[in-house]
Amino acid sequence: MLLKSVVIKKKNLTTVNESCTLEEALAILEDSGYRCVPILDESGKIFRGNIYKMHIYRHKANGGDMTLPVTYLLKNATKFIFLNTSFFKVFFTIKELPYIAVLDENNYFYGILTHSTLLNILAQSWNVQRGSYVLTIATTGKQGDLAAMTKIIAKHSSIASCITLDIGEDEFIRRTLITLPAETTEETCAVIVENLERKNLKVVEIEDLQANVE
């Protein structure tokens, strides 16, 4: 995953210096409109963690000292990735965070990858704009299942994208979502589904991506 093309760089971000007080940090957050911003060290190179508006307000509401350093309420100090971090690690590290800090090869703060950007990347991989139908195929996950699916589909159509979403504990433990290209007709889709199910590759859902497009 090439993060450089999707990371918001430090120069374009609102950040807080570690020497700021909670009162000063709150003013910065209010002015920026963000609910959370990175805390950097005095040099502006080292990521210290994040400061959340809600935590400052909670502290203030409880009569807390607002002259304390912003690091008093520092969060997510260990939540960061690197420019060369794999997509899977990025996905599982960001989780509920609004963004994840990104460090360069020198461990210096480079910028942030937002949650919304990551979702957009996933949406692009789904190929909604260039797809027609998404087939959700449930299998037991045995060796050769994916090869069997693609072989059957390739006889009638190309594949716009392919994503495996989950592994569960029910009868079908793996679900593969295959997006057919935009030019695929309803008739071709029906033939593909019929041939897949003939080989015991259960198509549990067919989604028409263009159904709600005006």
Residue 85 is assigned to a structural domain of this protein: yes
With 0.75 as the threshold, say if the pTM is over it.
no
Between the ranges 36-40, 162-166, 196-200, where is the mean pLDDT highest? 36-40
My answer on whether 25 and 104 are in the same domain is yes
> CA-CA distances (angstroms) from residue 16 to 9, 27, 32, 86?
15, 10, 11, 28
My answer on whether 111 and 168 are in the same domain is no
> Which of 101, 120, 139 delimits the end of a domain?
120
pLDDT single digits (tens) 49-71: 999 999 999 999 999 999 999 99
> Which of 120, 150, 184 delimits the end of a domain?
120
Residue 211 is assigned to a structural domain of this protein: no
Residue 67, CB half-sphere, CA atoms under 13 Å: how many? 0
Residue 95's pLDDT band, with cuts at 50, 70 and 90, is confident
pLDDT at 151 over 70: yes
In contact, 172 and 202? CB cutoff 8 Å = yes
The DSSP code sequence of 87-108 is HHHHHHHHTT-SEEEEE-TTS-
β 36-40/99-103 pair status? unpaired
Residue 213 is assigned to a structural domain of this protein: no
Distance, CA of 20 to CA of 68 (rounded, Å): 8
My answer on whether 10 and 116 are in the same domain is yes
My answer on whether 81 and 150 are in the same domain is no
Distance, CA of 91 to CA of 48 (rounded, Å): 21
Residue 132 is assigned to a structural domain of this protein: yes
Mean pLDDT of 74-80: 95
> Which of 120, 138, 154 delimits the end of a domain?
120
Number of domains in the chain: 2
My answer on whether 116 and 157 are in the same domain is no
pLDDT at 209 over 70: yes
Residue 159's domain spans which residues? 127-206
Mean pLDDT of 72-85: 95
User: Mutual orientation of helices 53-61 and 22-32 as an angle, nearest 10°?
Assistant: 130
Residue 26 is assigned to a structural domain of this protein: yes
Residue 165's pLDDT band, with cuts at 50, 70 and 90, is confident
Residue 112 exposed, middle or buried by CB count within 10 Å (0-12, 13-18, 19+)? buried
Residue 3's pLDDT band, with cuts at 50, 70 and 90, is confident
